[in-house]
């Protein structure tokens, strides 16, 4: 039968189409398998971090207990200076404990979100996974608006939108965690797993972006590009903070790695290193690039999520 098909033009065409469809099917499922493996790998990395954080929490709690005992002793027998030092030690230990417990809550939310996402049916249009949702966070689809819960899938060209006093975090195929601040809009636009390219639109508000490239299999880092109101942000492994103000001006601060900002109008490119803050004016031009210290950066992307989990 196959020999007869090979002798006819229609048979050859049929076999050719069947081969093409098999290749497309195989490539699609390979991409799905790669996506699943990536999520499992990231989940394993987060679990290792969680174990380390728990050990740190135990050590800090012991330090806090010792500080409280010292403060109680100085309250009875110590002088004013000793009481002040003891009180400061308690305050510092408590602040460290709050920070560690909040980080642990964030890791817990991420791990649970990955586990929930892996139970859902696979989708060829899958672009990301919601990992944190605080307050009014929703996703706009062609079929309507839906509440975005941790573990929910984010698909292509869907808008992730945060309300007032709301925060939403999404994990994306390029290995990036994107935290949206209040009143922000983020749209995953295009993913190319074959060439490892990811693109998204930053429509409004502010985002904190943290991207790792620790595949462990020798694969190169994804190329990521965000489109903003006035330009394009391109980077590999990096950590950055971007904000689009209501008046149309923008700021871009690099916390780790290197980032390239390209103006839409002039196509001029500016390379930013760690500690650089770029200011974009009303006409979309780069106004300034200056160095900033840690004290100049407000870590708004770490809200206290312990009481809201």
pLDDT at position 5, please? 43
User: 15 pLDDT exceeds 50?
Assistant: no
Please state, for a pLDDT cut of 70, what percent of the chain lies above it: 85
pLDDT at position 77, please? 81
Handedness of CA 202, 206, 212, 215 (dihedral sign): negative
Structural domain of 92: 1-122
User: 89 pLDDT exceeds 80?
Assistant: yes
Residue 97: how many CA atoms within 13 Å on its side-chain side? 15
pLDDT at position 308, please? 54
pLDDT in tens, 90-110: 999 999 998 888 889 899 999
Question: How many whole angstroms separate alpha carbon 282 and alpha carbon 195?
Answer: 35
Same-domain check for residues 145 and 90:
no
Q: What angle do CA 170, 171, 177 make, to 5 degrees?
A: 85
Maximum average pLDDT range among 136-150, 152-166, 224-238: 224-238
User: 219 pLDDT exceeds 80?
Assistant: no
103, containing H or E segment: helix 80-119
pLDDT at position 184, please? 97
Same-domain check for residues 56 and 10:
yes
Name 112's Cβ contacts closer than 8 Å, sequence gap at least 6. 150, 151
Same-domain check for residues 99 and 204:
no
Q: What is the DSSP letter of 261?
A: E
Question: How many whole angstroms separate alpha carbon 107 and alpha carbon 110?
Answer: 5
User: 87 pLDDT exceeds 50?
Assistant: yes
Question: Among 122, 154, 183, where does a domain finish?
Answer: 122
Q: Pick the closest to residue 185 from 166, 161, 165, 207 (CA basis).
A: 161
Q: 140 has which bridge partners?
A: 145, 159
27, containing H or E segment: helix 9-77
Same-domain check for residues 277 and 302:
yes
Q: What angle do CA 181, 210, 274 make, to 5 degrees?
A: 105
Same-domain check for residues 178 and 255:
yes
Question: How many whole angstroms separate alpha carbon 235 and alpha carbon 251?
Answer: 16
User: 23 pLDDT exceeds 50?
Assistant: no
pLDDT in tens, 272-309: 999 999 999 998 899 999 999 888 888 899 888 775 54
Per-residue pLDDT averaged across 173-193, rounded?
Answer: 93
Output the six-digit token pair for 44. Answer: 């394993």
Per-residue pLDDT averaged across 139-164, rounded?
Answer: 90
pLDDT at position 305, please? 76
Confidence of residue 10 (pLDDT cuts 50, 70, 90): low
Question: Among 122, 137, 159, where does a domain finish?
Answer: 122
pLDDT in tens, 114-141: 998 888 777 655 678 999 999 999 999 8
Question: Among 99, 122, 145, where does a domain finish?
Answer: 122
Same-domain check for residues 88 and 205:
no
């Amino acid at each position: 039968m196959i020999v007869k098909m090979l002798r006819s033009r229609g048979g050859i065409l049929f076999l050719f189409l069947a081969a093409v469809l098999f290749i497309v099917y195989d490539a699609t499922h390979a991409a799905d398998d790669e996506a699943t493996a990536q999520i499992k790998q990231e989940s394993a990395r987060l679990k290792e971090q969680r174990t380390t954080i728990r050990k740190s929490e135990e050590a800090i709690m012991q330090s806090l207990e010792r500080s409280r005992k010292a403060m109680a002793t100085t309250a009875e027998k110590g002088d004013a200076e000793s009481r002040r030092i003891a009180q400061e030690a308690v305050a510092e230990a408590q602040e460290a404990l709050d920070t560690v417990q909040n980080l642990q809550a964030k890791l817990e939310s991420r791990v649970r979100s990955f586990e929930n996402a892996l139970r859902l049916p696979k989708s060829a249009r899958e672009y990301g996974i919601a990992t944190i949702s605080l307050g009014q966070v929703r996703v706009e689809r062609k079929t309507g608006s839906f509440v975005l819960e941790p573990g929910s899938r984010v698909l292509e060209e869907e808008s992730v939108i945060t309300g007032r006093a709301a925060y939403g975090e999404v994990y994306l195929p390029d290995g990036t965690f994107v935290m949206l601040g209040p009143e922000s809009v983020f749209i995953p636009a295009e993913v190319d797993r074959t060439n490892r390219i990811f693109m998204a639109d930053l429509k409004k508000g502010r985002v904190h972006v943290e991207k790792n490239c620790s595949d462990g299999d020798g694969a190169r880092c994804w190329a990521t590009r965000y489109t903003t109101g006035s330009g394009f942000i391109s980077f590999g492994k990096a950590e950055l903070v971007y904000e689009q103000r209501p008046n149309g001006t923008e700021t871009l601060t690099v916390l780790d790695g290197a980032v390239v900002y390209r103006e839409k109008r002039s196509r001029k490119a500016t390379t930013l290193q760690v500690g650089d803050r770029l200011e974009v004016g009303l006409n979309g031009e780069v106004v300034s690039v200056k160095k900033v210290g840690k004290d100049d950066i407000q870590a708004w992307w770490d809200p206290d999520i312990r009481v809201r989990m």
